[in-house]
Amino acid sequence: MSTLHQPLNVGLSAKNKIDLYATPPHACSYFADERQAITVYLDPYYPKSVHLYTFLSQKGFRRSGDFLYRPDCPQCQACVSVRVDVKRFQPRRNQRRIWHKNQDLTVTLCKAEFQREQFNLYQKYIKTRHHGSSMDNSTPREYQDFLCSQWSKGWFFEFRLQQHLLAVAVIDPLNNGLSAIYTFFDPDYPQRSLGSYVILWQINEAKRLNLSWVYLGYWIKNCKKMNYKHHYQPLEYFYQQRWHSAPPV
């Protein structure tokens, strides 16, 4: 991070402006062509809170480790931040089937800290779903730097079939919703559609907590690994500096 970006106003006075820093152009991790990506980060030394995190989530930002960021590519707007309207969400027929199929799983809230069993599942998931990516062969430190944070009250939820760990969902609580940071699961159980089930569980949990949104990160229409989020309707899309009920054309 080297280039100073325009400051972000998070309050009513100039004192509440935060510096943003942009990375140099780098290869896009979502497309195999030669397009270059730029990522904007919040000043890492600025004191963070749930209130600030909620505000920035409403502006399309995400958390990775201790950092808050969003894409800012001048020639491409493919990455669109999306959130599920929890109170209006109605599961589709296949989603109801997935929900009922996984009712034999138990869900447990764990501390947001390194646990070897969770890390082993993460490695198995990455090697199957993202083999050859920058996430492959992650060390325990890289794993923690990606999912854990010193300032955010991240939740680690375990999904187990009896004693067997099938999935882990990393979720951040916001003032108005839940932010789905990352989910990894056992690829040996494809019939359970665990990735879909965990999203449905998060929507249901947000509804139970009387929250309005589940922030799913970035939807990318022409990227197979990122366009599945479109199935969780009604969905809102953040572009042109505000939320829309329909995706960009």
Burial class (CB in 10 A: 0-12, 13-18, 19+), 163: exposed
Name the maximum alpha-carbon separation found in the chain.
54
Residue 88 DSSP label: G
Percent of the chain residues topping a pLDDT of 90: 78
Using alpha carbons, list the distances in angstroms from residue 229 to 24, 152, 221, 223, 247: 29, 24, 9, 11, 12
Count each helix (H run) and each strand (E run) in the chain, helices first: 5, 15
Q: How many residues does the chain have?
A: 249
For residue range 171-199, what is the model confidence (pLDDT) as tens digits? 999 999 999 999 999 999 999 999 999 99
Residue 158 DSSP label: E
Burial class (CB in 10 A: 0-12, 13-18, 19+), 242: exposed
Buried b (16+ CB within 10 A) or exposed e, 173-197: bbeebbbbbbbbbbeeeeebbbbbb
Residue whose tokens read 């402006």: 17
For residue range 99-141, what is the model confidence (pLDDT) as tens digits? 999 999 999 999 889 999 999 999 999 999 876 665 667 899 9
Q: What is the pLDDT of residue 137?
A: 76
Strand partners, 70: 40
Domains delineated in the chain: 3-80 (no CATH), 83-244 (3.40.630.30)
- pTM, whole model, 2 decimals? 0.92
- Return mean pLDDT, the chain: 91
| Tens-digit pLDDT string for the chain (249 aa) | 556 666 766 554 456 688 899 999 988 888 877 788 999 999 999 999 999 999 999 999 999 999 999 999 988 889 999 999 999 999 999 999 999 999 999 999 998 899 999 999 999 999 998 766 656 678 999 999 999 999 998 899 999 999 999 999 999 999 999 999 999 999 999 999 999 999 999 999 999 999 999 999 999 998 888 889 999 999 999 999 999 999 998
